[in-house]
Amino acid sequence: MSLQASSITANKTLDVADLRQRAENRLSKIAEGVAERERQRVLPQQQIRELAADGLLTWRIPQAYGGSGASVREVVQFVVDLAAVDSNIAQALRPSFSFIEGLLVRGSEAERERWFPRYLAGEVFGNAGWEIGGANGAISARIVREGEHYRANGSKYYSTGSLYADWVSAVALDENEQPVSFILPRDREGLELVDDFDAMGQRLTASGTTHLHNVLVHPHEIRQRLGEEGQRSIVTPFLQLFLAAVEAGIARNALNDAVHFAREYARPIKHSTATRSVDDPYVELSVGEISARAFAAEALVLRAAESIDAAWAEELSQEAITRASIDVAQAQYLAVESALKAGELLFDVGGASTTGRAHNLDRHWRNARTVANHNPRHWKAAVVGAWQLKGTQPPASGLF
CATH (domain of 113): 1.10.540.10
> How many domains are contained in the chain?
3
With respect to residue 135, please indicate whether it lies within any of the assigned structural domains.
no
Q: What is the pLDDT of residue 269?
A: 77
With respect to residue 395, please indicate whether it lies within any of the assigned structural domains.
no
22 and 48, same domain (yes or no)? yes
386 and 239, same domain (yes or no)? yes
With respect to residue 194, please indicate whether it lies within any of the assigned structural domains.
yes
Rounded CA-CA distance 350/348 in Å is 5
Handedness of CA 320, 306, 379, 391 (dihedral sign): positive
Of 247, 243, 204, the residue nearest 48 (C-alpha): 204
- What single-letter DSSP state applies at residue 395? P
Domain boundary among 221, 251, 271: 221
With respect to residue 8, please indicate whether it lies within any of the assigned structural domains.
no
309 and 201, same domain (yes or no)? no
Q: What is the pLDDT of residue 4?
A: 39
Rounded CA-CA distance 105/46 in Å is 31
Handedness of CA 224, 193, 372, 52 (dihedral sign): positive
214 and 334, same domain (yes or no)? no
Whole-Å CA distances, 319 to 172, 208, 215: 31, 37, 41
Rounded CA-CA distance 354/348 in Å is 8
With respect to residue 70, please indicate whether it lies within any of the assigned structural domains.
yes
Q: Which value, to the nearest 10 degrees, does the dihedral of the CA atoms of residues 355, 357, 359, 363 take? A: 80
Phi and psi torsions of 217, nearest 5°: -125, 120
302 and 374, same domain (yes or no)? yes
- Asked whether the beta carbons of 338 and 293 are under 8 A apart, the reply is yes
Q: Measure CA of the first residue to CA of the last residue in the chain; give whole Å.
A: 34
272 and 300, same domain (yes or no)? yes
Q: What is the pLDDT of residue 88?
A: 98
* Angle formed by the axes of helices 318-345 and 235-264, nearest 10°: 20
DSSP, collapsed to helix, strand or coil, labels residue 212 as strand
* Angle formed by the axes of helices 281-313 and 318-345, nearest 10°: 170
255 and 356, same domain (yes or no)? yes
Q: What is the pLDDT of residue 40?
A: 94
Q: Which amino acid is at 358?
A: A
Whole-Å CA distances, 233 to 176, 324, 397, 400: 24, 11, 11, 10
Query: Any bridge partners for residue 151, and if so which?
Result: 144, 216
With respect to residue 287, please indicate whether it lies within any of the assigned structural domains.
yes
CATH (domain of 212): 2.40.110.10
Per-residue pLDDT tens for 33-49? 999 999 999 999 999 99
329 and 381, same domain (yes or no)? yes
302 and 378, same domain (yes or no)? yes
With respect to residue 134, please indicate whether it lies within any of the assigned structural domains.
no
pTM of the predicted model, to two decimals?
0.94
The tens place of each residue's pLDDT in the chain, 400 residues long, gives 433 334 444 446 789 999 999 999 999 999 999 999 999 999 999 999 999 999 999 999 999 999 999 999 999 999 999 999 999 999 999 999 999 999 999 889 999 999 999 999 999 999 997 888 777 778 999 999 999 999 999 999 989 999 999 999 999 999 999 999 999 999 999 999 999 999 999 999 989 999 999 999 999 999 876 555 567 899 999 999 999 999 999 999 999 999 999 999 988 877 888 888 898 999 999 999 999 999 999 999 999 999 999 999 999 999 999 999 999 999 999 999 999 999 999 999 998 999 999 999 999 999 999 999 988 899 999 999 999 999 999 998 778 9
CATH (domain of 255): 1.20.140.10
With respect to residue 92, please indicate whether it lies within any of the assigned structural domains.
yes
Domain boundary among 58, 93, 123: 123
- What single-letter DSSP state applies at residue 63? G
Rounded CA-CA distance 326/239 in Å is 13
H or E element: which one contains 172?
Answer: strand 167-173
What range does the domain containing 35 cover?
Answer: 16-123
211 and 256, same domain (yes or no)? no
109 and 57, same domain (yes or no)? yes
Domain boundary among 195, 221, 247: 221
Q: Counting Cβ atoms within 10 Å, is residue 266 exposed (0-12), middle (13-18) or buried (19+)? A: buried
H or E element: which one contains 302?
Answer: helix 281-313
Q: What is the pLDDT of residue 9?
A: 41
96 and 20, same domain (yes or no)? yes
DSSP, collapsed to helix, strand or coil, labels residue 30 as helix
Beta strand segments in 40-166, E = 125-128, 142-146, 149-156
